[in-house]
């Protein structure tokens, strides 16, 4: 059986549908991860040509969202899943929305990167943005891995990384505000970095959401709006 430990059913077709749903979600996540990497390369390489790949993948991400929503609705209506199967389908529907919005944020970063290509950008500030980008990419990869392996320990670890992203983000915001205050001429390029950093911070939040859904699938426990550190000792017998 695959790492999601899907329940065996009398209907092999039902098993196949659930496994296919999980595979397609991971494929959609992979597309968005590629979008994010390409958008960050625009800043790192100062090359706007990387934006083309971001925009091209967006059409595929949107198509995947529509397909997955349709398949989830089909399973709910036709199969009437219960217990762990129902949790999986409901979680996938929510995860699809988060992944699509991560793709939207990657597009915003790409647009800001295109504007910034011909502008003078402080190397130190670019490095700070690159560090946040690397942290967020690792969060996204970790969230997808946690789903693929039904690994709640990894999901909790990824959730905790969001705090480190927030700290880096706040540090970059302070530096950008100080730069814009010192010389209004720096405002346009600084704003491109600011909005890009804001998108990265939002992606971190979306990755946290993804991991909360993974915990829901595994535990049957909704840990949204809770302090995850207090949730570590929780266990659930729901299947």
Can you tell me which residue has the tokens 């996204």? 140
31 within a domain of the structure (yes/no): yes
pLDDT tens digit sequence for 64-107? 999 999 999 999 998 888 888 999 999 999 999 999 999 999 99
Contacts 24+ apart (CB under 8 A), 51-59: 51/110, 51/111, 51/113, 51/114, 54/106, 54/107, 54/110, 55/107, 55/110, 57/31, 57/32, 57/103, 58/103, 58/107
pLDDT, tens only, 14-57: 888 999 999 999 999 999 999 999 999 999 998 999 898 899 99
The more confident residue out of 117 and 193 is: 193
Residue 7 in domain: no
- Asked, for residue 198, whether it belongs to a domain, the answer is yes
Q: Assess if residue 6 is contained within a domain.
A: no
**How many domains does the chain fold into?**
1
Residue 1 falls within a domain, yes or no?
A: no
CA angle in degrees (0–180, nearest 5) for 56-61-65: 155
- The residue segments making up the domain with residue 17 are 12-231
Q: What's the CATH code of the domain at 71?
A: 1.20.58.220
């Amino acid at each position: 059986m695959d790492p999601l430990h899907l329940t065996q059913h009398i209907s092999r077709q039902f098993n196949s549908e659930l496994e296919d749903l999980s595979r397609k979600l991971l494929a959609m996540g992979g597309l968005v991860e590629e979008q994010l990497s390409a958008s960050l390369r625009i800043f790192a390489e100062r090359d706007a040509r990387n934006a083309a790949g971001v925009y091209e993948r967006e059409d595929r991400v949107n198509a995947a969202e529509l397909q997955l929503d349709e398949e989830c609705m089909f399973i709910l209506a036709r199969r009437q899943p219960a217990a762990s199967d129902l949790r999986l389908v409901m979680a996938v529907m929510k995860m699809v929305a988060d992944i699509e919005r991560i793709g939207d944020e990657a597009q915003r970063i790409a647009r800001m990167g295109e504007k910034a290509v011909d502008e003078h950008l402080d190397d130190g500030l670019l490095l700070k943005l690159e560090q946040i980008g690397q942290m967020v990419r690792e969060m996204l990869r970790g969230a997808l891995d946690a789903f693929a392996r039904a690994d709640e320990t990894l999901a909790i670890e990824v959730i905790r990384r969001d705090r480190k992203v927030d700290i880096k983000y706040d540090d970059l915001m302070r530096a950008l505000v100080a730069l814009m205050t010192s010389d209004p001429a720096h405002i346009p390029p600084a704003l491109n970095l600011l909005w890009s950093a804001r998108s990265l911070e939002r992606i971190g939040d979306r990755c946290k959401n993804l991991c909360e859904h993974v915990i829901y699938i595994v535990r049957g426990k909704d840990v949204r709006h809770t302090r995850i550190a207090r949730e570590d000792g929780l266990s659930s017998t729901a299947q």
